[in-house]
């Protein structure tokens, strides 16, 4: 048995094992230079030689023909691709590639090839220690090169360009060749190492989820390898030992699983990264914009406070449009410096030599280290550390350091609190009035400053205070703090004569308070806050303790899958930034985009349906506070229903400050640039989500106090609304519901209709039936006095409840002879879409509604869905419950109807909402298609991390998707089902997951659960029953149980 923590090493060939890079480079240069001179002679094109930079950027590490095409594209040269059999003299991509191959083989034959001595020594050590060895290379000459180097005896598997062509493997950065090599060795990628020298190669290793991606920087490309996914970078393999590698597998992977890292500065991706690097504590969230940046094309600083809204009116084409927005409150981050009389530092106007940013998910500490060189040659090291306190929701802090590396001279530093900006985080809102803040008061004395502003319409006062401490080489300094101010902004200036090599530090302690939740003098309170905090480090210690308590309850541990582990923790982190235990003191819910940006104007949607279960099982007090946000707006929901002629409570599709409907009546199409009517407020199913969340919270927590005081009243009023909207159709003898939209927002109305809304949406009707059928059970657990009280309060009668029972048993659905549940009445009459045509034309077809609209067409005419609609029912309810509802309604479907419906709707869904993949991942697993489930889940899990929707993450994270992916890991793959009265476990873990470990609360019992491929280990805080694979087991309190299967 191996004494090492890893089982295999898979090497790239060129530049890693053998010194073939020069051979390749010379062959590429000869071929391309000859061809470029030929074009100069025959086409009159100016000759520009093929350079070493071209080699590294366009062809190194890529399959030969891909390298040819990549370089030609860089020179705007278009050639037919041809085929691999093309004659080397043919002017095709393949022809040129074959020319290069001839040149390479001639050099190899005449000169041989040399192996790197350090690599050979490592190969010898690995073989001695019984570590499996493979080679994965894009080269079609790998076998010849290895033979020429005399290394064939070391290599157990070779996946090269020849093998890739034979079995259809994708080239780097796809992980195919490395994953195939690991499979050939019988080793899981998680237990293997990839050694690569090219950026595309380390990307492939990262994408393949390997246990270690070791970057070999032989071409002075340390930073590029780090930026593209290398875990460790060395310039030669002599620099790393097997002990170092073992240490990585023992400790490094777990440490890395808690870190979100970026090792480059890419202005095009910066806003998305700012969202993902957000710090916060549920009360406020602050985007990860650098301290030195302001709002620009590349950067967008933003701080958002739960429940902080403001309404403004904008006149558009003679029409007054009122929008309620999520306010970007004053920027507390700002710290900057300048050297002598130069401009203030900006990462967008300076050479960034290196940069590393890291968010520690364990405690919310965001750190940055960068080395920059300005136009005068001044090289400066900049470090910053930033946190929002999870111990005290009002406090935040920055530790900012600057070290002049090659110069001495005068330096100026500026810290500020700035409330002069407007909301600019969503481009499509920029034509609207976005000036939400007005100055009230600003000032300061010495190291302490304050800023007081208020929102222009809601008149919420916001105070920020800051206290500075200036240090040199760790020692406090007595300096002059120059305070100046303008309306809405206060500055603190510090001048210092800097010496090369010394580290200058500014510590900034900040308090944020608002009149919305603090009824006392908030300026006095905020000043007291900063004066009574000793240091950044003290604040971090307290906050880390609070985060530790959170992770002890909410962490999910995955063995065997680095990517899933990191992203699940990232999602849990951002959920806690969006709503934490502090929220029990706030009147706010979780916005669809967290406290991370301005998309959807920070409003509350049905996304709570995906979000609340996470809090139900981990932080029930927070879940209760989110439901109380809805209860406090019950009167608005009643008024909304009454205004439209209905009874009961009709909650708005978009809710903000007070619970009125905030949905726009018009919507801007960013592709066509035109405004159109918006019927999305017809998504009345948001009330069903609230009813379901109310039931689910009570079912999981047994919080009878909440149910009797608040929840039952809200649930019954929602039932009353839907009863008033359900009309008996004399022709069918069933109840129908008109004028609604389902979760699929692509369908607002019937083709050529003058009014919005659809009839008998399947999701709506099935959930209405479920809700009406749930009422008797809920009433049965209430005390007689509380039942009598709620009946009296809302004037409810038994006759009304009996009527709901009729609707429960008699609501209408449209179902085809094949068992396909129609999304709504008339859906089957719509036209089919030519999906292949639109994929080829647009590539990104997520928002098919906008693409069709820009062509003068409407999604209402086609069978095209944004996300799961009819299928959404199975996300909420288990199949047995849906089967029972369908039976009660008198419908008989084939036994395989779920699989048929999944296949039918999946091929007609564009996944324009990231929630779509979450739902379909669960449904595919239910239907037994584990491969499809994992693909959809993986896409959903990485959707914000990879910003798969082309920039939407920049406007805020997708909280529903983050919570949904966490819950799919638990409910679908771990198989933990909480929908019955006892905890049920039926695992269907992905193959690469060796185990999953979690904690949760259910019916006042705390469980700790570990699931592997063959057993469940479970600990309960009280006596309980559990069901594992349909077998019931009895657990004793505080006694671990191990159940094998």
- DSSP output for 769-786: HHHHHHHHHHHHTS-HHH
Sheet holding 284-286, edge to edge: 279-280, 284-286, 303-305
Average pLDDT, the chain: 96
Query: What residue numbers bound the domain in which 795 lies?
Result: 619-910
Residue 219, CB half-sphere, CA atoms under 13 Å: how many? 22
| DSSP classification of residue 794 | T
Q: How far apart are CA 518 and CA 516, in angstroms?
A: 6
Q: Helix (H, G, I), strand (E, B), or coil: what is residue 513?
A: strand
More confident residue, 678 or 287: 287
Q: What is the pLDDT of residue 518?
A: 86
Question: Which of 910, 927, 950 lies at the terminal end of a domain, its last residue?
Answer: 910
- Same-domain pairing of 167 and 83: no
| DSSP classification of residue 892 | -
What's the rounded mean pLDDT across residues 404-416?
98
The H or E element spanning position 449 is: strand 448-455
- Same-domain pairing of 277 and 215: no
Residue 189: CATH number of its domain: 3.40.50.1000
The yes-or-no verdict on residue 449 having pLDDT over 70 is: yes
pLDDT digits (tens, 9 = 90+) for 870-888: 999 999 999 999 999 999 9
The yes-or-no verdict on residue 482 having pLDDT over 60 is: yes
480 a catalytic residue = no
- Same-domain pairing of 632 and 483: no
- DSSP output for 330-360: -B---EEEEETTSPPP-TTSSEEEEEEEEEE
The yes-or-no verdict on residue 964 having pLDDT over 80 is: yes
pLDDT digits (tens, 9 = 90+) for 326-346: 999 999 999 999 999 999 999
- Same-domain pairing of 363 and 464: yes
Residue 547 has which token pair?
């985060």
- Same-domain pairing of 176 and 245: yes
929 within domain boundaries: no
- Same-domain pairing of 168 and 231: yes
Cα distances (Å, whole numbers) of residue 221 to 756, 782, 828: 57, 68, 57
- Same-domain pairing of 664 and 764: yes
The pLDDT-based confidence of 24 (bands split at 50, 70, 90) is: confident
The H or E element spanning position 415 is: strand 409-418
Query: Rounded to a whole number, what is the distance in angstroms from the first to the last CA of the chain?
Result: 27
Contact between 417 and 301 (Cβ < 8 Å):
no
Question: Which of 523, 551, 579 lies at the terminal end of a domain, its last residue?
Answer: 551
Give the burial string for 428-441 (b: 16+ CB within 10 Å, else e): ebeebbbebbebbb
pLDDT digits (tens, 9 = 90+) for 560-600: 999 999 999 999 999 999 999 999 999 999 999 999 999 99
Q: What is the pLDDT of residue 971?
A: 98
763 within domain boundaries: yes
How many residues comprise the chain?
A: 1045
Cβ atoms within 10 Å, residue 76? 7
pLDDT digits (tens, 9 = 90+) for 171-203: 999 999 999 999 999 999 999 999 999 999 999
What's the rounded mean pLDDT across residues 138-153?
91
| DSSP classification of residue 18 | B
957 within domain boundaries: no
743 within domain boundaries: yes
Phi-psi region of 702 (alpha: psi -120 to 50; beta: other; left: phi over 0): left
Strands 1024-1028 and 983-985 turn out to be parallel
The H or E element spanning position 455 is: strand 448-455
Tell me which long-range contacts 1022-1026 makes (C-beta under 8 A, separation of at least 24): 1024/982, 1024/983, 1025/982, 1025/983, 1026/982, 1026/983, 1026/984, 1026/985
Q: How far apart are CA 617 and CA 757, in angstroms?
A: 36
960 within domain boundaries: no
- Same-domain pairing of 499 and 431: yes
- Same-domain pairing of 381 and 298: yes
For the chain, what is the domain count?
A: 5
Least confident of 141-150, 234-243, 299-308, 636-645: 141-150
- Same-domain pairing of 57 and 94: yes
What's the rounded mean pLDDT across residues 492-516?
98
- Same-domain pairing of 645 and 509: no
The pLDDT-based confidence of 534 (bands split at 50, 70, 90) is: very high
Catalytic entry in 661, 745, 748, 955: 745
What's the rounded mean pLDDT across residues 471-476?
97
399 within domain boundaries: yes
Helix ranges (H only) for 855-991 are 873-876, 879-888, 897-906, 915-926, 930-941, 959-968
Q: How far apart are CA 668 and CA 664, in angstroms?
A: 10
Least confident of 259-273, 910-924, 999-1013: 910-924
Q: Nearest-CA neighbor of 279 among 449, 396, 123?
A: 396
564 within domain boundaries: no
What's the rounded mean pLDDT across residues 812-830?
97
pLDDT digits (tens, 9 = 90+) for 373-402: 999 999 999 999 999 999 999 999 999 999
Tell me which long-range contacts 1031-1036 makes (C-beta under 8 A, separation of at least 24): 1032/982
Contact between 592 and 669 (Cβ < 8 Å):
no
71 within domain boundaries: yes
Q: How far apart are CA 806 and CA 726, in angstroms?
A: 11
Least confident of 309-318, 481-490, 649-658: 309-318
The yes-or-no verdict on residue 112 having pLDDT over 70 is: yes
The yes-or-no verdict on residue 951 having pLDDT over 90 is: no
- Which residues lie below 8 Å from residue 785, measured CB to CB, with a gap of 6+? none
Q: What is the pLDDT of residue 668?
A: 65
Global pTM value: 0.93
Residue 503: CATH number of its domain: 2.70.98.40
Q: What is the pLDDT of residue 409?
A: 96
Contact between 58 and 155 (Cβ < 8 Å):
no
Question: Which of 256, 280, 310 lies at the terminal end of a domain, its last residue?
Answer: 256
Q: What is the pLDDT of residue 319?
A: 78
Residue 1032: CATH number of its domain: 2.60.420.10
- Same-domain pairing of 164 and 84: no
Tell me which long-range contacts 35-40 makes (C-beta under 8 A, separation of at least 24): 35/96, 35/99, 36/75, 39/77
Residue 742: CATH number of its domain: 1.50.10.10
Q: Nearest-CA neighbor of 1024 among 972, 974, 985, 971?
A: 985
The yes-or-no verdict on residue 325 having pLDDT over 70 is: yes
Q: Nearest-CA neighbor of 475 among 450, 444, 446, 507?
A: 507
The pLDDT-based confidence of 11 (bands split at 50, 70, 90) is: very high
Treating both helix axes as pointing N-terminal to C-terminal, what angle do 762-780 and 798-810 enclose, rounded to 10 degrees?
A: 140
What's the rounded mean pLDDT across residues 355-375?
98
């Amino acid at each position: 048995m191996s004494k090492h923590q890893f089982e295999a090493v898979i090497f790239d060939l060129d530049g890693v094992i053998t010194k073939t890079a020069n051979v390749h480079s010379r062959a590429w240069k000869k071929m391309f230079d000859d061809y470029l001179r030929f074009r100069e002679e025959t086409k009159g094109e100016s000759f520009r030689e093929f350079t070493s930079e071209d080699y590294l950027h366009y062809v190194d590490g890529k399959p030969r023909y891909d390298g040819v095409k990549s370089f030609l594209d860089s020179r705007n040269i278009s050639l037919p691709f041809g085929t691999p059999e093309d004659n080397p003299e043919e002017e095709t991509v393949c022809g040129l590639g074959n020319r290069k191959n001839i040149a390479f083989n001639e050099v190899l034959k005449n000169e041989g090839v040399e192996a790197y001595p350090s690599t050979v020594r490592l190969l010898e050590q690995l073989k001695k220690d019984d570590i499996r060895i493979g080679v994965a290379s894009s080269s079609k000459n790998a076998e010849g090169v290895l033979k020429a180097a005399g290394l064939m005896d070391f290599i157990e598997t070779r996946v090269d360009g020849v093998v890739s062509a034979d079995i259809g493997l994708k080239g780097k950065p796809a992980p195919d060749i490395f994953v195939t090599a690991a499979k050939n060795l019988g080793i899981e990628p998680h237990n293997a190492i990839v050694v690569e020298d090219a950026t595309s190669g380390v990307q492939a290793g990262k994408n393949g989820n390997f246990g270690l991606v070791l970057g070999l920087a032989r071409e002075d490309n340390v930073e590029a390898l780090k930026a593209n996914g290398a875990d460790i970078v060395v310039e030669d393999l002599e620099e790393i030992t097997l002990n170092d590698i073992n240490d990585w597998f023992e400790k490094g992977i777990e440490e890395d699983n808690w870190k979100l890292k970026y090792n480059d500065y890419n202005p095009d991706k910066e806003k998305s990264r700012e969202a993902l690097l957000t710090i916060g504590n549920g009360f406020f969230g602050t985007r990860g914009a650098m301290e030195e940046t302001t709002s620009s094309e590349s950067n967008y600083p933003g701080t958002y406070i739960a429940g902080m809204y403001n309404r403004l009116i904008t006149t558009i084409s003679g029409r007054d449009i009122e929008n309620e927005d999520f306010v970007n409150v004053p920027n507390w981050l700002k710290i900057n410096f300048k050297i002598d009389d130069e401009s203030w530092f900006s990462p967008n106007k300076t050479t960034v030599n290196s940069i590393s940013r890291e968010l520690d998910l364990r405690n919310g500490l965001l750190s940055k280290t960068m080395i920059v060189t300005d136009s005068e040659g001044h090289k400066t090291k900049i470090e910053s550390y930033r946190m929002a306190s999870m111990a005290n929701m009002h406090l935040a802090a920055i530790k900012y350091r600057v070290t002049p590396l090659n110069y001495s001279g005068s330096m100026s530093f500026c810290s500020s609190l700035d409330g002069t900006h407007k909301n600019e985080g969503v481009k499509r809102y920029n034509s609207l009035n976005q000036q939400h803040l007005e100055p009230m008061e600003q000032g300061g004395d010495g190291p302490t400053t304050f800023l007081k502003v208020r929102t222009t319409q809601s008149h919420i006062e916001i105070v920020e205070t800051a206290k500075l401490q200036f240090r040199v080489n760790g020692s406090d300094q007595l300096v002059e703090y120059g305070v100046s101010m303008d309306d809405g902004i206060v500055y603190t200036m510090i001048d210092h004569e800097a010496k090369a090599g010394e580290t200058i530090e500014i510590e900034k302690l900040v308090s944020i308070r608002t009149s919305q939740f603090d009824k006392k003098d908030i300026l006095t309170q905020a000043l007291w806050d900063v004066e009574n905090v000793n240091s950044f480090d003290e604040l971090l210690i307290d906050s880390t303790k609070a985060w530790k308590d959170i992770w002890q309850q909410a962490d999910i541990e995955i063995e065997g899958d680095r990517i899933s582990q990191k992203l699940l923790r990232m999602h849990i982190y951002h959920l806690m930034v969006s709503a934490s235990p502090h929220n029990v003191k706030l009147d706010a819910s979780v916005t669809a985009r967290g406290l991370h940006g301005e998309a959807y104007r920070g409003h509350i949607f049905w996304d709570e349906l995906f979000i609340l279960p996470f809090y139900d099982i981990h932080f029930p007090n927070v879940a209760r506070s989110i439901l109380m946000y809805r209860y406090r707006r019950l009167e608005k929901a009643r008024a909304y229903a009454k205004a439209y002629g209905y009874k009961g409570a009709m909650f708005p599709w978009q809710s903000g400050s007070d619970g009125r409907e905030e949905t726009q009546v018009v919507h801007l199409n960013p592709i066509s640039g035109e405004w159109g009517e918006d019927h999305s407020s017809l998504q009345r199913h948001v009330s069903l989500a609230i009813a379901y969340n109310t039931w689910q919270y009570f079912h999981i927590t047994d919080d009878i106090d909440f149910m009797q005081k608040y929840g039952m009243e809200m649930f019954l009023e929602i039932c009353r609304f839907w009863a008033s909207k359900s009309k008996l159709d004399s022709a069918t003898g069933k109840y129908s519901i008109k004028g609604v939209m389902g979760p699929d927002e692509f369908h607002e109305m019937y083709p050529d209709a003058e009014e919005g809304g659809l009839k008998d949406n399947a999701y709506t009707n099935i959930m209405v039936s479920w809700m009406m059928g749930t009422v008797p059970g809920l009433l049965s657990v209430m005390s007689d006095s509380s039942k009598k009280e709620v009946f009296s309060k809302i004037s409810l009668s038994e006759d009304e409840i009996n009527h709901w029972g009729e609707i429960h048993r008699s609501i209408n659905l449209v179902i085809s002879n094949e068992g396909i549940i129609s999304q709504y009445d008339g859906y089957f009459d719509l036209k089919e879409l030519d999906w292949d045509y639109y994929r080829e034309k647009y590539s990104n077809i997520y928002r098919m509604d906008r693409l069709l609209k820009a062509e003068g067409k409407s999604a209402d005419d086609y069978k095209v869905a944004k996300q799961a609609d009819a299928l959404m029912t199975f996300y909420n309810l288990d199949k047995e419950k849906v089967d029972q509802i369908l039976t009660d309604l008198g419908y008989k479907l084939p036994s395989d109807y779920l699989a048929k419906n999944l296949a039918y709707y999946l091929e007609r869904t564009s996944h324009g909402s990231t929630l779509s993949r979450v739902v379909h991942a669960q449904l595919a697993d239910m239907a037994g298609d584990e491969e499809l489930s994992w693909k959809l889940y993986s896409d959903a899990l990485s959707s914000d991390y990879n910003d798969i929707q082309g920039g939407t993450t920049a406007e805020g994270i997708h909280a529903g998707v983050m919570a949904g992916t966490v819950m799919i890991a638990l409910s679908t793959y771990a198989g933990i089902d909480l929908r019955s009265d006892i905890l049920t476990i039926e695992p269907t873990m992905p193959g690469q997951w060796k185990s999953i470990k979690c904690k949760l609360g259910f019916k006042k019992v705390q469980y700790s659960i570990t699931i592997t491929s063959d057993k469940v280990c479970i600990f309960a805080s009280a006596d309980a029953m559990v069901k594992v694979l349909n077998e019931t087991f009895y657990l004793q309190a505080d006694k671990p149980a191990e159940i094998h299967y």
